Chain A
Amino acid sequence: MHLFGVLFQLAWRNLWRNHRRTIIMLGAIGVGVWAMIFMTALTRGMVDQMVTDSIGILPGHVQIHNPDYLDDPSISNRISYTDTELRQKFESAGFESWASRVRVPAIVTSERDSRGVTLLGVDPVAEKDISFFDYAEVEGRFLSDSGDKGIVIGGKLADKLETGLGKRIVIMSQDPDNDIADRGFRIVGLYSANTSAVEEAYAYIGKSTAQAMLGIGDTSTEVVFLGTEYRNVEPVYEAVAERVDERVSVQRWYEIDTYLGTMLGVMDGFVLVWVIVIFLALSFGLVNTLVMAVFERVREIGLMLALGMKPGSILGQIIIESMLLLTLGLATGNLLAWATIMPLRDGIDISIVGEGMEMWGASSMLYPKLYLGDMVLASVVVLLLGFLASLSPAWRASRYEPVEAITKA
């Protein structure tokens, strides 16, 4: 331990013998680490937002369907449990939130125009925490209960249909016997969403109303469950899976929205690749600095060896010097990243490329997310690879022949 103290002190003093070089290197490491963390925070922020938005629309972390429903979303492929059976299974199971819904493709027709939409029959009370919009922010009002006779559509859809609050529209869909089921609804509310595509896609009616209109008794097409965190859906998945039989299929959100699932994986990979690329760019400078530091001190190292210092101590001394440099650089970079991300935490407006971000499935406000895990990952990668990179110059320094080294000009 005493030896380590001495080596540490030697390394620290050596580091500041050539302060210009050390400061430039600190600058380089600082900028590199800042870039690693800053870029990662932006990426994380974007993906988090995408997943949150998308889970809101799906909705839920886990869903159950008739096994044929996802490929063939027809009213014929309903869940084989009745509402009463579903309540028995899930009511007392302690889920954060769950709801059963009727989801069918439909045509909505106003006096002026018609559009294809996804019609959702929902129980507004059960869905309160699941829905992606706040009921209070709906223009007009949201559905009051499952038997509500009104309809709530997106603002953009109302524009396109040239209709509005209080006006009547007709919904056409198919009942299980393939007869046209249609019914007039009064628009009681208009909701807004992050993207106009979502506002155009979904129309909400009461679940009992939907069941009556489609003639499907008390059955539904999907049951949705919300857990606590989108990265950890296994507990919810298992709890659901053990309560149902093979007549239904249980899916996690990333199995339903496969694009988003892969996106998440690809982004995790991207973060690691980015950190390593930056480190490689840095490593040339790091190795260079160490090689120079050793080269300048050949005589001195020779002298130390001649005086009886173990080669291992020379090796240790140089590695400690490298680690000190990296640690200081990491501290600078992490601080810099924290200082630049904090002022941006209320979001960066990137709406100039908003429609492009919509194509990626992201929204036009970017909220950088600084995760401790990412800072740790960057630091660990830098220290670990930095250690490996310093091995060669340090090894060479410890292998000098004392006599030759001392006599070197």
Chain B
Amino acid sequence: MSIVLRLAWRNLWRQPRRTWLTTGAMVFSNLLLVFMMSLQFGMYGLMIDNTLQVFTGHLQVQAPGYKDDQKMRQTVADVLPLADAIRAELGSDRVAARGWAFALASSEERSFGIGIYGVETVFEPQVSNIPGLVSDGRYLASNDAAEIVIGKVLARNLRVAVGDELTLLGSGVDGSFAAAVVNVVGIFDSGVKDIDRNIAEMPIATFQETFFLDGAGHQIAIVADNLDAVPEIQSRVRSVLPSDGDLLVLDWNELQPGLKQAIQADMGSNFFMYFVLVVLVAFSVLNTQLMSVLERTREFGIVMALGLKPGRLGRLVILETAMMGLMGTGLGIVAGGLLTLWFTGNGLSLPGMDEMAAQFNLPARMYPEVSALSLLAGPLVVFLFTMLAAVYPALRLRWQNPVEAMRAA
């Protein structure tokens, strides 16, 4: 066995330049694959977390049809006791009930139509990052206070500051006229213009009273410790729901179908690019190995005439390819890993990226994430295709006639 290994190794270095160039193609592709995948998976994780932590959470309890229509009367009855029951079942505080309505908010000078969340003031900070982003004033104090927190752009447009009053006009759950006067106690700055311009939060009891909800709300948001725990929590929450009702427990993918699909679309186009890179490497290997076999036609003819089975020669060619493939894979993983690690420490930022990133709730500077998957997946596929590319040159040997081969130029 060791003689075959040695033979393969020596054959590989008969043409060091060719071997290095072919290995170089593999290293280049592996480097790109490792880096891109690390960046991609790091980005997807952030995209999911950052999008869900604004309002959505990992799970929500809703009335059927509410997700698509968001009609005022598609309510969850007795939402506060139900939220308490879910908290007790899960033993977690990261559960909060909400109501949602549209209203015309008027200050002394200006009026704008906005969306208002009625929130549980104690538990909302556990499920959403908005309460933590209050940059001026404070968050809501108690469930029945006549208070409101609004976004920074809205505050500017309405020309109000902390301490000013807002009048809300809208319609209640029964279609009747709803109105309230509330105090602006805080202004949040999420950095997302649409949220800062259009969203406000007020205490849930005040909200229910204003919009005649009679103890009802529209959603209960639940945050799990990680994405993997979501299915289990989903079934536990289901067990707490009233058995006679038709309430639904929707997971984040049902709530934000765009998120997973945006990731899939991005993955689709990335995998196309990866695949092209891998195919190009395979061509390179095929070329090299076929040349190296053709060069040795005479030599192979002689050893075959001496009694060596063509199968054994085929295995020799495969072994040479495997050695080259292993070098390319090893060096590629090391180089890709180092490059990725450097960017993990320093972050990556491209011109114009902050604008793009904001659309997907991403920070302007990206940090790739090295994982076993991103480190190994690409190089393994490259290795696999490398070996596939060696099949044809190896098989050619089987059809070789020793006498003709020896006569070849």
Contact (Cβ within 8 A) B72 A74: no
- Provide the bound-state CA to CA distance between A357 and B94, in Å: 31
Contact (Cβ within 8 A) A174 B106: yes
Could you tell me the distance in whole angstroms from the C-beta of B350 to the nearest C-beta in chain A? 8
Most chain B CB within 10 A, of A71, A172, A285, A350, is at A285
- Provide the bound-state CA to CA distance between A226 and B61, in Å: 47
- Count of residues in B whose CB is under 8 Å from the partner chain: 71
- Provide the bound-state CA to CA distance between A174 and B32, in Å: 55
Contact (Cβ within 8 A) A356 B110: no
- Provide the bound-state CA to CA distance between A359 and B15, in Å: 52
Contact (Cβ within 8 A) B353 A353: no
Contact (Cβ within 8 A) A72 B265: no
Could you tell me the distance in whole angstroms from the C-beta of B111 to the nearest C-beta in chain A? 4
A291 is an interface residue with CB less than 8 A from chain B: yes
Could you tell me the distance in whole angstroms from the C-beta of A384 to the nearest C-beta in chain B? 19
Query: For residue B171, which residue of chain A has the nearest CB?
Result: A114
Contact (Cβ within 8 A) B265 A32: no
User: Which residues 297-345 of A sit at the B interface, judged by CB distance below 8 A?
Assistant: none
Please name all residues of chain A whose beta carbon is closer than 8 Å to the beta carbon of B283 when the two chains form the complex: 24-25, 27-28, 31, 285
Please name all residues of chain A whose beta carbon is closer than 8 Å to the beta carbon of B101 when the two chains form the complex: 114
A159 is an interface residue with CB less than 8 A from chain B: yes
User: Which residues 342-400 of A sit at the B interface, judged by CB distance below 8 A?
Assistant: 350, 352-361
Q: List 15 A-B contacts (CB under 8 A).
A: A31-B283, A74-B112, A111-B175, A112-B71, A116-B114, A116-B198, A174-B111, A259-B355, A259-B358, A262-B355, A277-B32, A278-B280, A280-B28, A353-B262, A359-B359
| CB 8 Å contact bits of B1-18 with A (1 = contact, 0 = none) | 000000000000001011
B343 is an interface residue with CB less than 8 A from chain A: no
Contact (Cβ within 8 A) B263 A356: yes
Please name all residues of chain B whose beta carbon is closer than 8 Å to the beta carbon of A248 when the two chains form the complex: none
Could you tell me the distance in whole angstroms from the C-beta of A51 to the nearest C-beta in chain B? 15
Known contacts A71-B156, A259-B355, A353-B264; A32 and B112 CB within 8 A of each other: no
- Provide the bound-state CA to CA distance between A298 and B101, in Å: 82
Contact (Cβ within 8 A) A24 B18: no
Contact (Cβ within 8 A) B290 A113: no
User: Which residues 13-42 of A sit at the B interface, judged by CB distance below 8 A?
Assistant: 18, 20-21, 24-25, 27-28, 31-32, 35, 39, 42
User: Which residues 194-244 of B sit at the A interface, judged by CB distance below 8 A?
Assistant: 198
Contact (Cβ within 8 A) A357 B272: no
Contact (Cβ within 8 A) A358 B71: no
Contact (Cβ within 8 A) A180 B169: yes
Could you tell me the distance in whole angstroms from the C-beta of B157 to the nearest C-beta in chain A? 5
Known contacts A39-B272, A263-B356, A355-B258; A72 and B22 CB within 8 A of each other: no
B150 is an interface residue with CB less than 8 A from chain A: no
Known contacts A174-B106, A258-B355; A359 and B262 CB within 8 A of each other: yes
Please name all residues of chain B whose beta carbon is closer than 8 Å to the beta carbon of A32 when the two chains form the complex: 276, 280
What is the interface of chain B, defined by CB distance below 8 A to chain A?
Answer: 15, 17-18, 21-22, 24-25, 28-29, 32, 69-73, 101-104, 106-115, 153, 156-157, 169-171, 175, 198, 257-265, 268-269, 272-273, 276-277, 279-281, 283-284, 286-288, 290-291, 294, 350, 352-353, 355-356, 358-360
User: Which residues 166-180 of A sit at the B interface, judged by CB distance below 8 A?
Assistant: 172-174, 178, 180
Please name all residues of chain B whose beta carbon is closer than 8 Å to the beta carbon of A353 when the two chains form the complex: 261-262, 264-265, 268
- Provide the bound-state CA to CA distance between A159 and B65, in Å: 12
Known contacts A288-B18, A355-B257; A180 and B284 CB within 8 A of each other: no
Could you tell me the distance in whole angstroms from the C-beta of B65 to the nearest C-beta in chain A? 11
Contact (Cβ within 8 A) B291 A105: no
Contact (Cβ within 8 A) A72 B280: no
Could you tell me the distance in whole angstroms from the C-beta of B381 to the nearest C-beta in chain A? 14
Please name all residues of chain A whose beta carbon is closer than 8 Å to the beta carbon of B269 when the two chains form the complex: 39, 42
Contact (Cβ within 8 A) B287 A21: yes
Please name all residues of chain A whose beta carbon is closer than 8 Å to the beta carbon of B70 when the two chains form the complex: 160
- Provide the bound-state CA to CA distance between A284 and B276, in Å: 15
Please name all residues of chain A whose beta carbon is closer than 8 Å to the beta carbon of B28 when the two chains form the complex: 280-281, 284
- Provide the bound-state CA to CA distance between A160 and B100, in Å: 14
Please name all residues of chain A whose beta carbon is closer than 8 Å to the beta carbon of B264 when the two chains form the complex: 352-353, 356
Contact of B24 among A105, A269, A284 (CB under 8 A): A284
Contact (Cβ within 8 A) A172 B25: no
A282 is an interface residue with CB less than 8 A from chain B: yes
Could you tell me the distance in whole angstroms from the C-beta of B130 to the nearest C-beta in chain A? 18
A106 is an interface residue with CB less than 8 A from chain B: yes
Please name all residues of chain A whose beta carbon is closer than 8 Å to the beta carbon of B170 when the two chains form the complex: 107, 109, 114
Contact of B287 among A28, A112, A160, A280 (CB under 8 A): A28
Please name all residues of chain B whose beta carbon is closer than 8 Å to the beta carbon of A281 when the two chains form the complex: 25, 28-29, 277, 280-281
Contact of A355 among B261, B352, B353 (CB under 8 A): B261
Having A295-B15, A357-B262, A357-B265, one finds 14 other A-B pairs with CB under 8 Å, namely A39-B272, A105-B112, A113-B73, A114-B171, A173-B111, A269-B352, A280-B28, A285-B283, A288-B288, A291-B17, A353-B261, A356-B257, A356-B259, A360-B265
Please name all residues of chain A whose beta carbon is closer than 8 Å to the beta carbon of B32 when the two chains form the complex: 277
Could you tell me the distance in whole angstroms from the C-beta of B159 to the nearest C-beta in chain A? 9
Contact (Cβ within 8 A) A74 B110: yes
- Provide the bound-state CA to CA distance between A295 and B18, in Å: 10
Query: For residue A281, which residue of chain B has the nearest CB?
Result: B280
Contact (Cβ within 8 A) B258 A356: yes
A256 is an interface residue with CB less than 8 A from chain B: no
Contact of A292 among B18, B169, B276, B360 (CB under 8 A): B18
Contact of A359 among B25, B73, B107, B261 (CB under 8 A): B261
Contact (Cβ within 8 A) A285 B276: no
A231 is an interface residue with CB less than 8 A from chain B: no
- Provide the bound-state CA to CA distance between A172 and B111, in Å: 10
Could you tell me the distance in whole angstroms from the C-beta of A293 to the nearest C-beta in chain B? 10
Could you tell me the distance in whole angstroms from the C-beta of B332 to the nearest C-beta in chain A? 13
Query: For residue B51, which residue of chain A has the nearest CB?
Result: A359
Query: For residue B27, which residue of chain A has the nearest CB?
Result: A284
| CB 8 Å contact bits of A139-166 with B (1 = contact, 0 = none) | 0000000000000000000011010000
